[in-house]
Amino acid sequence: MHNQIYNSFGDKVFRVINYLILTVVTLTCLLPILHVLAISFSDSVSATANKVLFIPKGFNLAAYETMFSNPIFLNSFFVSVFRTVVGTAINLFFTILAAYPLSKDDRDLRGRKWISLFFIIPMMVSGGLIPTYLLVNRIGLIDSIWSLILPGCLPIGNVVLMMNFFRGINRSILEAADIDGASELAILIQVVLPLSTASIATVTLFQMVAHWNDWFGATIYINDNRKWPLQTLLRQMLQSIDISTFGAETISKLRLLSDRSFRSAMIIFATIPILCVYPFMQKHFVSGITIGSVKE
């Protein structure tokens, strides 16, 4: 650590100012979330009157009780869980299947250059919103949860990440298995995957967060609000203009949802799963970024 070498008066001043700035900056990240948390536990009257700052006023759990007894909310929660679990599993399966052969050199995978080009081109160009929408529409995935899982179920950035990780595995182990006559599939399952738990964990966690957080997919592919994931429901509630598209019966239920404490409770609830996987992700931040983008 180079920090121990400075001890002048000027340095002490610097240190105080530095800690001050960093603490303020950190608080700007923390306080908005604490504010929403406090509102979610406050009674509606105090919340609506903007009397709540960081400590709940009139502490109660009403917002959460309303939330968990609301069928639209519960549905959306299950949709989110389903797409996160199933979607991530499929992402992982496809990522491994693509990354392992591409991690081989041209001797083991002849034509590797062309094959990798085939997979890289979509990273550079895409058809964009409308042609993708028309395709999903054409193959009949509109209003199906699979529209949120199948398009883009091969995250190419993650393939690159995992491919680079596979390349880092000691070649002599793979060659020994190859000489013993093990098939490539056996090598992948019995040798490579057990050595790759770190990269599998990285891809899994990042994909889980991506699935949980995605709200745009359902706004275009799913018209039926009972099939929306949580984040899409949240978004639609905040954009009150769009509530007019709900049925009359739903509107009366949603009037409750326009309540500020209720909205806050939902924001908090949507944040909790990310908070839960966050400590596990932290270990993989640096490898996740540097392996994927910068290679020494």
188-217 residues in contact with other proteins (CB under 8 A) are 188, 209, 212-216
Residues 116-175 that bind other proteins (CB under 8 A): 116, 118-122, 124-135, 138, 150-154, 156, 159-160
Tell me how far, at minimum, the Cβ of 56 lies from other proteins, in Å: 15
- What b/e readout covers 274-286, taking b as 16+ CB neighbours within 10 angstroms? eeeeeeebeebee
Specify the residue, 227 or 263, whose C-beta has the smaller distance to other proteins.
Answer: 263
- Under the binding rule (CB under 8 A), the answer on residue 44 touching other proteins is no
Residues 23-42 that bind other proteins (CB under 8 A): 23, 25-26, 28-30, 32-33, 35-36, 39
Amino acid at 234: L
Instruction: HSE, CB side, 13 Å, CA atoms: give it for residue 58.
Output: 15
H helices present in the chain, as ranges: 9-40, 44-48, 62-68, 71-102, 112-124, 129-138, 156-167, 171-179, 184-186, 193-195, 197-213, 216-221, 230-238, 248-257, 260-282, 285-293
Specify the residue, 88 or 249, whose C-beta has the smaller distance to other proteins.
Answer: 88
Residues 64-93 that bind other proteins (CB under 8 A): none
- Under the binding rule (CB under 8 A), the answer on residue 224 touching other proteins is no
- Under the binding rule (CB under 8 A), the answer on residue 53 touching other proteins is yes
Q: Cβ atoms within 10 A of the Cβ of 143, count?
A: 12
Residues 97-116 that bind other proteins (CB under 8 A): 97-98, 100-102, 104-110, 112, 115-116
